[in-house]
Chain A
């Protein structure tokens, strides 16, 4: 199965700054088979982005996913207080879909 490695493990930033989260796959997942989720304590994951340019319903355009092959990035511009959470990437190019171990975005 495809293994996803996310970095950094923890990212400390201030509101208003921009965040860049990385997800690297053990083999190519193309350009369209990568999704990003946000999870807050005690809540289920929330779909943010999918495919090459897709953004889930209700997700602000501050969130954008990019990348192809084995290297992907979630960029969050102008961080809002509600953006501080754990973020997971997921590949769905090959069965079974697999998730990264997560990046915690915390307030500096």
Chain B
């Protein structure tokens, strides 16, 4: 079965960096675009970033553009999110998510989600 397992969260000071990882299994990872979606405490969901199946195409939410970088390693079935210049408002649970089809675009829904990883930005 499809499994997505995030790691790497924690507490970090404003302005610092953190990297999140997502280990995928149970499906052909190299065939799917992958996404990060976040949820601030007690709030709704916000799409963060997408990477194409081959890693050549990427896109970001305006709120993180220029600070976050998404990447993947298809040989290891892993997805990463490098987060730089972190702000208090980046505090959230970060989910890696897979769409239902082999489609590149942020105009898609999500069939599979990881358990989530908490990132807290605080001084």
Q: Which residues of A contact B (CB under 8 A)?
A: 33, 35, 43-47, 50, 56, 88, 90, 92-102
Query: How close is B20's CB to chain A, nearest CB, in angstroms?
Result: 14
Q: A50 and B105 in contact (CB under 8 A), knowing A45-B45, A102-B44?
A: no
**A88 touches which one: B45, B47, B59, B106 (CB < 8 A)?**
B45
With an 8 A cutoff between CB atoms, is B14 at the interface? no
Question: In the complex, what residues of A have CB within 8 A of residue B110's CB?
Answer: 45, 47
Q: A97 and B116 in contact (CB under 8 A), knowing A44-B95, A88-B45, A102-B44?
A: no
Query: How close is B117's CB to chain A, nearest CB, in angstroms?
Result: 11
With an 8 A cutoff between CB atoms, is B61 at the interface? yes
**A47 touches which one: B106, B109, B116 (CB < 8 A)?**
B109
Question: In the complex, what residues of B have CB within 8 A of residue A101's CB?
Answer: 43-44
With an 8 A cutoff between CB atoms, is B88 at the interface? no
Question: In the complex, what residues of A have CB within 8 A of residue B47's CB?
Answer: 96-99
In the assembled complex, the Cα of A4 lies from the Cα of B54 at a distance in Å of 32
Q: A44 and B114 in contact (CB under 8 A), knowing A90-B45, A96-B47, A99-B46?
A: yes
In the assembled complex, the Cα of A33 lies from the Cα of B106 at a distance in Å of 12
In the assembled complex, the Cα of A35 lies from the Cα of B61 at a distance in Å of 20
How many chain B residues have a CB neighbour from A under 8 Å? 20
Residue of B nearest to A6 (CB): B44
A92 close to B107 (CB less than 8 A): yes
Q: What is the interface of chain A mostly: helix, strand, loop, or mixed?
A: loop
In the assembled complex, the Cα of A50 lies from the Cα of B101 at a distance in Å of 13
Residue of A nearest to B6 (CB): A44
Query: How close is B101's CB to chain A, nearest CB, in angstroms?
Result: 11
In the assembled complex, the Cα of A92 lies from the Cα of B116 at a distance in Å of 22
**A35 touches which one: B43, B105, B109 (CB < 8 A)?**
B109
B109 close to A92 (CB less than 8 A): yes
Contact with A along B87-123 (1 / 0, CB 8 A): 0000000010000100001111111011110000000
Question: In the complex, what residues of B have CB within 8 A of residue A35's CB?
Answer: 109
B107 close to A95 (CB less than 8 A): yes
In the assembled complex, the Cα of A29 lies from the Cα of B102 at a distance in Å of 22
7 A-B contacts (beta carbon < 8 Å): A44-B115, A46-B113, A90-B45, A92-B109, A96-B61, A97-B109, A102-B44
